[in-house]
A and B are shown apart, each in its own frame.
Chain A
Amino acid sequence: MASRLIPSAGQYLRLANRLRQHVRTKATAPSPAATTSEGAPSGGRGYSFELTDEQREFQDLARKFAREEIIPVAPHHDKTGEYPVPVLKKAWELGLMNGHIPADCGGMDLGIFDTCMITEELAYGCTGIQTAIEANSLGQMPVIIAGNAEQKKKYLGRMTEEPLMCAYGVTEPGAGSDVAGIKTKAVKKGDEYILNGQKMWITNGGHANWYFVLARTSDDPKMPAGKAFTGFIVDRDWEGVTPGRKEWNMGQRASDTRGITFEDVRVPAENVLGAEGVGFKIAMGAFDKTRPPVAAGATGLAQRALDEATKYSLERKTMGKYIAEHQAVAFMLAEMAIMVETSRLLTQRSAWEIDQGRRNTYFASIAKAYAGDAANKCATDAVQIFGGNGFNSDYPVEKLMRDAKIYQIYEGTAQIQRLIISREMLAKAKQTQW
């Protein structure tokens, strides 16, 4: 029963398309935060929340790209699950992908702070597409931190020459949080390792040009995790590498997630990262650099949920006034704003810490844990504010709710993050004299 008061889906879409092009108002503008780049004014007072001109330009570019290239095609990729090759290619051309590859491999050597800023803007458009981009960073990180010169040149160099994708293969059907329990085995045979096993939920699995694979190299069940695993770079083309079918997930459907089977894959010794046995440390070390961007992605989603809900609440009327003027809705928006601003600050702090060269595990876990929860709450509240329309697929918020859930699961579940945070703070507490 349509009434003139309820905007039709078409009307809303037209309005939304026009409004979507509006830049965020100052009230919801991302709070600038401590910066690592040169020329950042801080008045000599230490902490600065100022972005440099260059960072602002990066942010503008990413923002424009998200609104003009990602948002228009996101619903299509969500409905069909089609891998967004044209968008990824464009992002690659503009330098929005692979930002942290070192300059000597043809990359831009961006810090994690700048990466997070760009990630947040892209995630605002579509977290599925942004995750496909982010998975590249995740796959590359072990090579960046532990690869030797030849490996970096070979596997990172090619990423800057062509728009290729890569993937991070650690999780298995039987082991997600329990990384030490993975069963993929690599047995040394002369100059090679024979790799056997199965990985699951590998983002970009079907389109990757190469994988970072963590496998157990020690037969001794009592060997500590820090010595029992090795990281390998595995080419997609090698015999025995079989990506499975594309998994149909609840959300982030533009991203390609698959199981990968490795059957007697022959990995040359030169593709071992670091040395035999140090794989676990490398795999975990990568997370310190990739958790902040994941938190940034969740922040972008939360911001989008807030913006959509705000716009709708200023258009929809009920009981004689705009729903934004009803305190119940206004308070929901306020709580969403609190969560968005907090997520952002936490993400920025964790990114800044690692850019300063310090171990940021504590902050990275806090940021990811909080941002994941914030994204889910904001997306759910956005659907709530849209009411019946929010439940409908013609409106953008139900996708946000479906996309948000994974932020509490991948890159370390919400529970694992809490484990890490408590472990870090208790370790510190034990050293403190109360």
Chain B
Amino acid sequence: MWPIFDYGRFVSIISSSDVYGVVWMRSLAQLHKMANLRVLVGVKRVIDYAVKIRVKPDNSGVVTDGVKHSMNPFCEIAMEEAVRLKEKKLAKEIIAVSCGPAQAQETIRTALAMGADRGIHVEVTGKEYENMTPLHVSKIMAKLAQDQEANLVILGKQSIDGDNNQTGQMTAALLDWPQATFASEVTKENDHLKVVREIDGGLETVKVTLPAVITADLRLNEPRYATLPNIMKAKKKKIAKHKAADFGVDLTPTLEVVGVEDPPVRQAGQKVESTEELVAKLKDSGVV
């Protein structure tokens, strides 16, 4: 029996001289396809990391009006990795995707200036945008990956506003693709990717067959500046506009945000004169 790896699934075959020829051609096609990835990169527009976050007076959320926004730092790292794959001639096309209001196009344009070939803007506005969750986004990403015939999806490990760390994992599950999360190193080896993951205990190396989903961690790379000429070239690249409904995704909220509060103000400390006094105070407060 000749096993053929067709998109990671086993396809058994009956030995016959005709079929042998097909196997050979298909393997070549496989190799050719593997060497030319079409990469889908998610880029999210979030409040800039350097901005001081303020909670709205009615505790319903954070203030976003008039606040500086930029690309999620982990999405920048994801984008940079995709561009590096393209420079190594392992990727043939990079598509940058963002779900959000009209301003999300600025984020897509930054991705285009970094090296994406084209962009897709899934327009989500108002209340629907405020209540959008990783589940909604991953449904959209999964459908897009299929429609666009992508064989690699790279996302940031989490966004700095939601901090959910769910989208990559859910997208992989919906697609039934393998996932390699918290990637700090990605290498292509023949027909699979070798990914070094940062985990609590240290580093873990995994092999994933393609197609796959990767989420980028901080040390994966250092994102490049978009050069001025590239910013100018990015103007000519296309951004396709869609709505969530185009992908059959219902944006009805599945979660309700009940309240948003500031973290507690740091309490003043107390100074003690000796170790004995310290232990006594700790005992008094019931900590020890």
Contacts and interface: CB of A to CB of B under 8 A. Distances in A.
Interface of A: 21-23, 26, 53-54, 56-58, 60-61, 64-65, 93-96, 99, 108
B109 A53 contact: yes
A385 B55 CA distance: 32
Per DSSP, are chain A's interface residues mostly helix, strand or loop, or mixed? helix
B235 A54 contact: yes
Given A21-B50, A22-B50, A61-B231, 4 more contacts: A54-B231, A60-B70, A64-B225, A95-B228
A94 B110 contact: no
Contacts of A93: 227
Contact of A108 (B109, B228, B235): B228
B106 interface: yes
A329 B282 CA distance: 45
Nearest to A160: B229
Contacts of A95: 227-230
B51 A22 contact: yes
A23 B69 CA distance: 11
A94 B228 contact: yes
Given A23-B50, A26-B66, A108-B232, A57 B110 contact: yes
A58 B230 CA distance: 10
A10 to B, nearest CB: 21
A105 to B, nearest CB: 14
Contacts of B235: 54
28 contacts: A22-B52, A23-B48, A23-B50, A23-B51, A26-B66, A53-B106, A54-B231, A54-B232, A54-B235, A56-B106, A57-B106, A57-B109, A57-B110, A57-B113, A57-B226, A58-B228, A58-B231, A61-B226, A61-B228, A64-B225, A65-B225, A93-B227, A94-B225, A94-B228, A95-B227, A95-B229, A96-B228, A108-B228
A400 to B, nearest CB: 22
Contacts of A53: 106, 109
B68 interface: yes
A94 B227 contact: yes
Nearest to B229: A95
Contacts of B230: 95
Given A53-B109, A54-B235, A57-B113, A99 B228 contact: yes
Interface of B: 48, 50-52, 66, 68, 70, 106, 109-110, 113, 225-232, 235
A60 B229 CA distance: 14
Query: Considering the complex of A and B, which 10 residue pairs feature the smallest CB-CB distances, nearest first?
Result: A95-B228, A94-B227, A95-B227, A57-B231, A21-B50, A95-B229, A23-B68, A22-B50, A94-B225, A26-B66
Contacts of A58: 228, 231
B26 to A, nearest CB: 44
B2 to A, nearest CB: 51
Contacts of A94: 225, 227-228
Contacts of B52: 22
Nearest to A22: B50
Nearest to B48: A23
A22 B50 CA distance: 5
Nearest to B66: A26
Contacts of A99: 228
Most buried by B among A23, A65, A96: A23
A335 B66 CA distance: 25
Nearest to A21: B50
B226 to A, nearest CB: 6
B125 to A, nearest CB: 19
Contacts of B232: 54, 108
B287 to A, nearest CB: 28
A108 B106 CA distance: 22
Contacts of A65: 225
A201 to B, nearest CB: 30
A4 to B, nearest CB: 13
Contacts of A21: 50
A108 B68 contact: no
B203 to A, nearest CB: 28
Most buried by A among B66, B113, B228, B231: B228
A365 B67 CA distance: 36
B51 A108 contact: no
B227 to A, nearest CB: 5
Contacts of B113: 57
A37 to B, nearest CB: 10
A108 B229 contact: yes
Nearest to A57: B231
A367 B31 CA distance: 63
Contacts of B228: 58, 61, 94-96, 99, 108
Nearest to A39: B235
Nearest to A107: B229
A330 B231 CA distance: 40
A22 B68 CA distance: 10
A283 to B, nearest CB: 28
Most buried by A among B48, B68, B231: B231
Contacts of B109: 53, 57
A85 to B, nearest CB: 18
A66 to B, nearest CB: 12
Nearest to B105: A53
Contacts of B51: 22-23
Contacts of A60: 70
Contacts of A26: 66
A65 B106 CA distance: 19
A108 to B, nearest CB: 6
Nearest to A96: B228
A69 to B, nearest CB: 9
Contacts of A108: 228-229, 232
Nearest to A24: B68
Contacts of A22: 50-52
A93 B227 CA distance: 7
B110 to A, nearest CB: 7
A53 B105 CA distance: 10
Contacts of A54: 231-232, 235
A313 B51 CA distance: 19
A96 B228 CA distance: 7
A96 B230 CA distance: 12
Nearest to B106: A53
A226 to B, nearest CB: 37
A212 B191 CA distance: 58
Contacts of A57: 106, 109-110, 113, 226, 231
Nearest to B68: A23
Nearest to A29: B68
A57 B230 CA distance: 11
